[in-house]
Amino acid sequence: MENHENSASTWPLLDTLAPFLQQAWENSKFQKPTEIQKQAIPQVLEGKDVLAEAPTGSGKTLAYLFPVLQKIDPDKKDTQAVILASSRELVMQIHEELQTWSAGSGISSATLIGGANIKRQLDKLKKHPRVIIGTPGRVHELIKKKKLKMHEVKTLVLDEGDQLLAPEHKGTLEDIIKSTLAERQLLLFSATLPKVSELEAQRLMNDPEIVRVGTEAEKPDVDHGYLITDARKKVDTLKRLTVIEAFKGLVFVRDIGNLDVLAEKLRFKGLSVGVIHGDSKKEDRVKTLKAFREEKLALLLATDVAARGLDIPSLKYVINYDLPDETSQYVHRAGRTGRVGSPVDGSVISLVTGDDIKKIVKISKELNIDITEKQMYRGELIDARQQ
């Protein structure tokens, strides 16, 4: 990557931001803002409500973090921004990013996650964090207990907003929004925004600016393929993939029951496997993700909810052990690889039985992407038509 001494000149807005943000940008390896950052940041800085849809891995987190951090007054001892996310992993991922980009600013932050020790979280709140990142259930609980005061919150962010607008979160989300003052700013960012979610979001927002970045803009370099296999031989097919040189794969499994059975079978075959799902303890998830990032595990098995928001820059392979029920799930799964700034290209491989062929064709058509048949040949994955 070239050095970027002239990064400010390629992005004039950078010169208008706080010195700590300019410094963080200089310290980063980014050459220029992504399309979603260019389009969304000015709108957020102007104080508008924003409804943004952009591909997974296109830099959405920074598109709201930059302006949110710019607006925080570190000298004011109140929570001024709340970021909501649907999973523990996504909360921790956002918090990591925030700590990187707020270095030297004096802006404090805290995470509020369901399932974690509530006493510890109350201790965090006593330190007056300026930014809160949390899951809706725990944030709502602490608002109801009058431990989290929302009267000075100027900005509320819904990350992966389509998930937060799902029926199971809707009532909680509306209560959180109602706890803020009417003039607060509401931002929603998502990789997929079905029409029903968009209409629901607009109902909650004040004349929002709609920012859409098509999947063609800065499309990550990801190859999509499938391997045909018998249902009984799926485990062996997955094991064969691990012989690929420097293989490291995130494997999506339909539910926790299937995931635990698969993990047991793979371990029996001598593979190093980690698992994360909705019932995993926080400490176990952190430990497992660390081992996977450090390449101590060949495979990480996950359910859709657990893997939402995972950011592993060096991840090359995403494996659909079970095909997703919804096309939007395929988008989110695929978005875990080939992310902006990643040192490796991405590859999504679906293990399909004869019954699944129609489903993979449907996904290919709906997303307008080529999903080609693959084969294993001498320890490598190749296009079946090359044979």
CATH number of the domain enclosing 147: 3.40.50.300
pLDDT band at 8 (very low <50, low <70, confident <90, very high): very low
Q: State pLDDT tens for residues 249-290.
A: 999 998 888 899 999 999 999 999 999 887 777 778 888 888
Looking at the fold, whether 17 and 164 belong to one and the same domain comes out as yes
Looking at the fold, whether 235 and 331 belong to one and the same domain comes out as yes
Cα 101 → chain centroid: 17
DSSP 59-90: SHHHHHHHHHHHH--TTS-S--EEEE-SSHHH
Task: Give 317's strand partners.
Answer: 249, 347
Look at residue 255 in the predicted model and tell me its pLDDT: 87
Look at residue 342 in the predicted model and tell me its pLDDT: 62
pLDDT band at 69 (very low <50, low <70, confident <90, very high): very high
217 in a structural domain: no
Nearby residues of 326 by Cβ (< 8 Å), 6 or more positions away = none
Q: Do 37 and 66 touch, CB atoms closer than 8 A? A: yes
Q: State pLDDT tens for residues 85-117.
A: 988 888 988 999 999 999 999 999 999 998 778
Instruction: State the Cα–Cα distance between residues 317 and 204, nearest whole angstrom.
Output: 38
The pairing of strands 380-383 and 371-377 is antiparallel
**Residue 378: closest CA among 272, 245, 270:** 245
62 in a structural domain: yes
Looking at the fold, whether 38 and 101 belong to one and the same domain comes out as yes
One-letter amino acid for residue 310 of the chain: L
Looking at the fold, whether 172 and 234 belong to one and the same domain comes out as no
Instruction: State the Cα–Cα distance between residues 4 and 15, nearest whole angstrom.
Output: 15
Rounded alpha-carbon distances, angstroms, from residue 204 to 81, 114, 336: 17, 24, 29
Look at residue 3 in the predicted model and tell me its pLDDT: 38
Look at residue 57 in the predicted model and tell me its pLDDT: 75
**Segment 309-314 mean pLDDT:** 73
Look at residue 341 in the predicted model and tell me its pLDDT: 58
Please check the confidence at residue 343 and state whether its pLDDT lies above 60.
no
Please check the confidence at residue 296 and state whether its pLDDT lies above 50.
yes
Instruction: State the Cα–Cα distance between residues 351 and 362, nearest whole angstrom.
Output: 15
Rounded alpha-carbon distances, angstroms, from residue 93 to 146, 308, 311: 27, 10, 7
Please check the confidence at residue 387 and state whether its pLDDT lies above 60.
no
Last-in-domain residue among 177, 212, 247: 212
299 in a structural domain: yes
The length of the chain is 387
Look at residue 268 in the predicted model and tell me its pLDDT: 93
Q: State pLDDT tens for residues 205-255.
A: 988 999 988 754 445 578 999 999 999 999 999 999 998 888 889 999 988
**b vs e for 296-333, b when ≥16 Cβ sit within 10 Å of the residue's Cβ?**
ebbbbbbbbbbbbbbbbeebbbbbbbbbbeeebbbbbb
Q: Is the pTM of this model over 0.85?
A: no
The better pLDDT of the pair 316, 116 is held by 316
pLDDT band at 182 (very low <50, low <70, confident <90, very high): confident
Q: Do 133 and 94 touch, CB atoms closer than 8 A? A: yes
**Segment 70-76 mean pLDDT:** 93
**Residue 272: closest CA among 238, 239, 293, 296:** 296
298 in a structural domain: yes
1 in a structural domain: no
Q: Do 324 and 333 touch, CB atoms closer than 8 A? A: yes
What phi and psi values does residue 275 have, to the nearest 5 degrees? -130, 140
Which stretches does DSSP call E strand in the chain?
A: 50-53, 81-84, 109-112, 131-134, 155-159, 185-190, 209-212, 222-228, 249-252, 273-276, 299-302, 317-320, 346-352, 371-377, 380-383
Looking at the fold, whether 128 and 251 belong to one and the same domain comes out as no
27 in a structural domain: yes
Look at residue 99 in the predicted model and tell me its pLDDT: 94
Looking at the fold, whether 237 and 103 belong to one and the same domain comes out as no
Looking at the fold, whether 99 and 226 belong to one and the same domain comes out as no
Looking at the fold, whether 63 and 165 belong to one and the same domain comes out as yes
Q: Encoding tokens for residue 277?
A: 């799902």
61 in a structural domain: yes
Look at residue 386 in the predicted model and tell me its pLDDT: 61
One-letter amino acid for residue 170 of the chain: K
Instruction: State the Cα–Cα distance between residues 156 and 188, nearest whole angstrom.
Output: 9
Instruction: State the Cα–Cα distance between residues 185 and 67, nearest whole angstrom.
Output: 12
**Segment 346-373 mean pLDDT:** 91
Looking at the fold, whether 330 and 362 belong to one and the same domain comes out as yes
Look at residue 220 in the predicted model and tell me its pLDDT: 54
Q: Which range in 261-275, 302-316, 322-336 is most confidently predicted, on average pLDDT?
A: 261-275
Looking at the fold, whether 234 and 359 belong to one and the same domain comes out as yes
Burial bucket for residue 218 (CB in 10 Å: 0-12, 13-18, 19+)? middle
Please check the confidence at residue 2 and state whether its pLDDT lies above 70.
no
Looking at the fold, whether 284 and 204 belong to one and the same domain comes out as no
Percent of residues, the chain, with pLDDT higher than 90: 50
2 in a structural domain: no
Structural domain count, the chain: 2
Last-in-domain residue among 192, 212, 232: 212
Beta sheet of 346-352, edge-to-edge order: 273-276, 299-302, 249-252, 317-320, 346-352, 222-228, 371-377, 380-383
Look at residue 377 in the predicted model and tell me its pLDDT: 81
Owning domain of residue 175: 7-212
Last-in-domain residue among 165, 185, 212: 212
DSSP 163-206: HHTSHHHHHHHHHHHHTS-TT-EEEEEES---HHHHHHHHHHSS
Looking at the fold, whether 378 and 265 belong to one and the same domain comes out as yes
Please check the confidence at residue 310 and state whether its pLDDT lies above 80.
no
